[in-house]
C-alpha cells in the first residue's frame, strides 16, 4: 500500500528497456545524437508546431530554467501559494532567475482562479523604480492537489496574463495525468490556450529522470543551451534522456501510464468516500487523493503498513476544515498501483472506522 509519492516507483519497463538499448555503442554527447533529434521531432508532432526542446534530469531544474527566460532578476513571478515552485524547490526559481520574486496566490485545490489573479494584479504596486513588476504567471497542471485546469480555465488565466504583459509557464510534472483526464490534445491545453513554456515531466509518470523544457516559440528559448550548460544541467551522456523521452512518448505510452494512475486514484477516492467519518474534499482529476481521516483510521492504516504523508490544509474548499481528531493526508497513485493495494487500503480504513 505505497501511496507516498509517484517517485517511489522505478521507471516503466518500456522506459527501462529503452535506456538499456541506448547503452550500446558510441554516440555524440551533449545532445548531438540522433535520438535527441528524434525526440525534438516527436514533441513538435505531439504539440502540432515546431517547439524548442531542452531536456534536464529534474523538474525543479526545468521550472527554474524555464522561468529564467520569462523574467528579469527584478521581476515577479505569480504562482499558487502552495505550488511546487513556491514551496518545494528551496528557492531554485529565485536562484535560476537571478533573484526574481515569487508572489503566491491562494486558491482551493492549489488552483488559481481568474478572479484571484485579477485581484492580485490589481493590488501589486507599480511605482517606478521602487516596485518589482510582474513578468510571468506559473500554473501547475495537474495541481499539487490532484486537480486539473480545463482548457477554458487556462485560456482565461492566460488571457489576463497577456493583458498585463505576463508570460505563462506551466509546471507539467504531472502533465500526462491532466491530458489523460481532460481528453484534450496537448496543443489545446498549452500554446493554443496561451501557454508559452511547459515543463513536461516524465519522471513522476514512468520515466527514470527526464523532464523537458518545451518552448512553443523556439526563439524564446534561444539562449537556453547556455543557461542549461551554465546551470550544470546539460547531461553529457544526453542519449539517456532522449531514450527515456522517446519511449515515454512512443505509441501513447505516457497517456496509458497516466490513465492507469488516474483510474487508481478515482477508485481509491470512491472507496474512501463510502467509509464513515472519512471525507474526500476534492474529487480526483489526476493521480492524487487528499482525504481527511479520523486519527484512529490513519493509525490503523499505518499499522497495516500503508505508506503516505500528511498534507497541508491551507488550500481546502471554503468551509471545509480539519478537526482536532482528524488529519488530511496525501495519497498518490502511480502507473504501478494495483487494484489490490487500493482495495486493501479502503478495507483497512473501513474496518478501523466501523470498529
Q: Residue 294 Cβ, how far from ligand PLP at the closest point, in Å?
A: 27
Q: Residue 98 Cβ, how far from ligand PLP at the closest point, in Å?
A: 19
Which 3 state secondary structure label does DSSP give 139?
Answer: strand
Which are the contacts of 275, defined by CB distance < 8 A and separation ≥ 6? 297, 346, 349, 350, 353
Q: How would you classify residue 148: left for phi > 0, otherwise alpha for psi between -120 and 50, otherwise beta?
A: beta
Comparing CB distances to ligand PLP, the nearer of 177 and 348 is 177
Comparing CB distances to ligand PLP, the nearer of 147 and 160 is 147
Binding residues with ligand PLP: total (CB under 6 A): 11
Comparing CB distances to ligand PLP, the nearer of 43 and 208 is 208
Q: Residue 145 Cβ, how far from ligand PLP at the closest point, in Å?
A: 10
Q: Residue 286 Cβ, how far from ligand PLP at the closest point, in Å?
A: 10
Residue whose entry in the numeric block shows the C-alpha cell 531544474: 61
How many Cβ atoms are within 10 Å of 91's Cβ, its own excluded? 12
Q: Which of residues 104-163 bind ligand PLP (CB under 6 A)?
A: 140, 144
Q: Residue 92 Cβ, how far from ligand PLP at the closest point, in Å?
A: 8
C-alpha cell at 210: 527526464
SS3 content of the chain, % helix, strand, coil (to 5): 40, 15, 45
171 binds ligand PLP (CB under 6 A): yes
CB-CB contact of 12 with 255 (8 Å): no
Choose the stretch contacting ligand PLP; rule: CB under 6 A; options: 53-61, 179-187, 318-326, 331-339.
Answer: 53-61
Comparing CB distances to ligand PLP, the nearer of 138 and 348 is 138
Q: Residue 144 Cβ, how far from ligand PLP at the closest point, in Å?
A: 6
What are the distances in angstroms from CA 129 to CA 98, 102, 133, 275? 18, 18, 9, 57
Please give the helix or strand (H or E) that residue 332 lies within, else none: strand 326-332
Please select the residue that binds ligand PLP; options are 12, 36, 148, 203, rule is CB under 6 A.
203
Q: Which residue is nearest to ligand PLP (CB)?
A: 59
Please select the residue that binds ligand PLP; options are 12, 36, 58, 348, rule is CB under 6 A.
58
Please select the residue that binds ligand PLP; options are 70, 112, 158, 173, rule is CB under 6 A.
173
Nearest Cα to Cα of residue 332 among 130, 146, 84: 146
Q: Which of residues 298-337 bind ligand PLP (CB under 6 A)?
A: none
What gap in Å lies between CA 86 and CA 350, rounded to an integer? Answer: 36
84 binds ligand PLP (CB under 6 A): yes
C-alpha cell at 159: 488571457
Please select the residue that binds ligand PLP; options are 12, 36, 60, 266, rule is CB under 6 A.
60
Residue whose entry in the numeric block shows the C-alpha cell 500554473: 139
What gap in Å lies between CA 241 and CA 282, rounded to an integer? Answer: 35
CB-CB contact of 97 with 77 (8 Å): yes
Choose the stretch contacting ligand PLP; rule: CB under 6 A; options: 54-62, 121-129, 280-288, 308-316.
Answer: 54-62
Which are the contacts of 337, defined by CB distance < 8 A and separation ≥ 6? 2, 3, 260, 261, 264
Q: Residue 213 Cβ, how far from ligand PLP at the closest point, in Å?
A: 12
33 binds ligand PLP (CB under 6 A): no
Q: Residue 67 Cβ, how far from ligand PLP at the closest point, in Å?
A: 12
Q: Residue 87 Cβ, how far from ligand PLP at the closest point, in Å?
A: 10
Choose the stretch contacting ligand PLP; rule: CB under 6 A; options: 18-26, 41-49, 55-63, 154-162.
Answer: 55-63
Q: Which DSSP state fits 112?
A: P
CB-CB contact of 185 with 48 (8 Å): yes
Binding site for ligand PLP (CB under 6 A): 58-60, 63, 84, 140, 144, 171, 173, 203-204
Amino acid at each position: 500500500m505505497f501511496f507516498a509519492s509517484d517517485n517511489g516507483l522505478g521507471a516503466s519497463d518500456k522506459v527501462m528497456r529503452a535506456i538499456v538499448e541506448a547503452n550500446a555503442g558510441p554516440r555524440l554527447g551533449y545532445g548531438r545524437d540522433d535520438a535527441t533529434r528524434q525526440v525534438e521531432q516527436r514533441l513538435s508532432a505531439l504539440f502540432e508546431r515546431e517547439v524548442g526542446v531542452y531536456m534536464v534530469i529534474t523538474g525543479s531544474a526545468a521550472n527554474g530554467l524555464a522561468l529564467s527566460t520569462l523574467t528579469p532578476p527584478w521581476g515577479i513571478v505569480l504562482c499558487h501559494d502552495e505550488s511546487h515552485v513556491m514551496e518545494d524547490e528551496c528557492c531554485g526559481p529565485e536562484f535560476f532567475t537571478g533573484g526574481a520574486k515569487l508572489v503566491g496566490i491562494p486558491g482551493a485545490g492549489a488552483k488559481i482562479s481568474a478572479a484571484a489573479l485579477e485581484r492580485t494584479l490589481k493590488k501589486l504596486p507599480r511605482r517606478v523604480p521602487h516596485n518589482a513588476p510582474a513578468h510571468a504567471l506559473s500554473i501547475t497542471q495537474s495541481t499539487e492537489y490532484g486537480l486539473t485546469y480545463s482548457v477554458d480555465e487556462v485560456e482565461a488565466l492566460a488571457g489576463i496574463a497577456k493583458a498585463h504583459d505576463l508570460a505563462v509557464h506551466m509546471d507539467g510534472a504531472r502533465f500526462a495525468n491532466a491530458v489523460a483526464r481532460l481528453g484534450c490534445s496537448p496543443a489545446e491545453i498549452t500554446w493554443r490556450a496561451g501557454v508559452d513554456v511547459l515543463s513536461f515531466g516524465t519522471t513522476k509518470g514512468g520515466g527514470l529522470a527526464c523532464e523537458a523544457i518545451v518552448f512553443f516559440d523556439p526563439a524564446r528559448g534561444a539562449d537556453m543551451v547556455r543557461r542549461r550548460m551554465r546551470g550544470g544541467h546539460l547531461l553529457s551522456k544526453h542519449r539517456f534522456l532522449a531514450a527515456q523521452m522517446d519511449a515515454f512518448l512512443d505509441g501513447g505510452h505516457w497517456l496509458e501510464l497516466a490513465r492507469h494512475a488516474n483510474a487508481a486514484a478515482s477508485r481509491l477516492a470512491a472507496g474512501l468516500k463510502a467509509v464513515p467519518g472519512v471525507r474526500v474534499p476534492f474529487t480526483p482529476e489526476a493521480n492524487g487523493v487528499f482525504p481527511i481521516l479520523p486519527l484512529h483510521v490513519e493509525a490503523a492504516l499505518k499499522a497495516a503498513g500503508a505508506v503516505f504523508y500528511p498534507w497541508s490544509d491551507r488550500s481546502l474548499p471554503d468551509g471545509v476544515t480539519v478537526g482536532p481528531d482528524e488529519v488530511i493526508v496525501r495519497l498518490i497513485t502511480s502507473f504501478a498501483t494495483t487494484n489490490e493495494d487500493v482495495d486493501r487500503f479502503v478495507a483497512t480504513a473501513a474496518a478501523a472506522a466501523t470498529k
